[in-house]
A and B are shown apart, each in its own frame.
Chain A
């Protein structure tokens, strides 16, 4: 009896779920078929099939430089944010000092403050420091945006490991640094790596701050797309978007897999 009552309800739920997923994914996925069009304009549904826009993407200097720049910025951001974010997480989780809550809120604030405000603020200061439009400036800006993701991931890992493990290591003769290297770091490594991957993605598809902090000589991929879409609507953009999507999704999946790793082995 309960089964006959449950069956239609289940179907309804399933339908609603599918609809929601479609609603969320469709706008993103629509670029994928568009990128394989054989026509010269960006249309949906696409006409014919060809990979010539991918060829153009790879051969065109502007696109390939954009790729290179984005990758460079994203890797440097991930590295810097991972180191700083891990240290910040250690301080806010393990440390005990006045103003800890305020400092934690400050570290996490890029998650809440509208990006455009951050972008304007950074732009005005970086111009004065003469690092606007440079690799260094963009990496620093993206690092600030990415640190919260590292902090959140590492802090979660830190809270799950037994504090007694660190105390045990100390009583066995390990100082604070050796305790961190031999005990704490191996145990929070999944969180650190996941945080690093999130930091990579944060930088990889960031547009707003990048628009302010890039120049004609130094452009990342999302900014290049933004510029191109405004001028020529050429299906190469769809090919680039698809590539961007594949990279982002792969990194995100990797982050989820890494985060699920048990701390042991």
Chain B
């Protein structure tokens, strides 16, 4: 027997809402990697410190897009900013996103400032104008400003850690605070989201860093990838434990809702939950990462294993978002049956739209790195030249 309330025939939060927490998770994770270098001083992350900041920004810029498209009345999207109802977790989105954007732009500007000043002075024509604009009229570079920059970067990166946790913890709270939905309602949800966010962000960085290095035809810093793989394994272990604990304690307590949840994970989303999220996305990469760390392997093979683990984890975290967002809505609130959902290919809420949105961050990434390449070794500026330039610019 399958009974759902009549109004539950259509699933309301579709594929667009699946990719939204996936994207914000990547932002939070990538940012935390950059902070491991900037705040916690982990030197192995230096090759990706700037790289991860740019990645985080590229994804952050895209985060509001699926949400806005999904709204019934997208023309009213700004209302969330202008007349927020603060008892709603969702009303915080605009503010948290905006604060995070400012913070990240500030940090990126400071991190890339010397490069921008350098380009502004050496580039020609339109490019010179762009860089002069990006420099915001500040051309001063000296040992003193460098020290101040570093201190400010550290402060911003430091503030950025709790904000990143806030951004993704809050996304988890949006689901975890819905008592009407037994599959969502758990105080563990923000933590589950946060840990999986970090996991997905580190995995993305490994994959993207290796791919970009290949495209650029440069050597991958294998020690850096190895360090990321170690941290990834740590966070992944934590993710397995929390996500496993979540479902195990439900089984053990066996409250009224367990019967319908049992049916959900054994008859409705069994493949995407057990096979993809847990098996392919967590246990397999754990084994692969462990092998890459513990076994004496050829460096190239080790890198390949870590790269593949990264891809598997990204697939697994996407499945996890699907299982939460869609899985939770499949369960009828009558607890007597399930709705069904399969996304259309075309259309506003279709697979094609999702693919385009997921491709956008990479386009932004290419665009940003075109102007401020995070990998370029730029010659340090002679202080004298800067002073000369200022004299000229001030007339």
Chains A and B form a bound pair: no
Q: Which residues of B are interface residues toward A (Cβ below 8 A)?
A: none
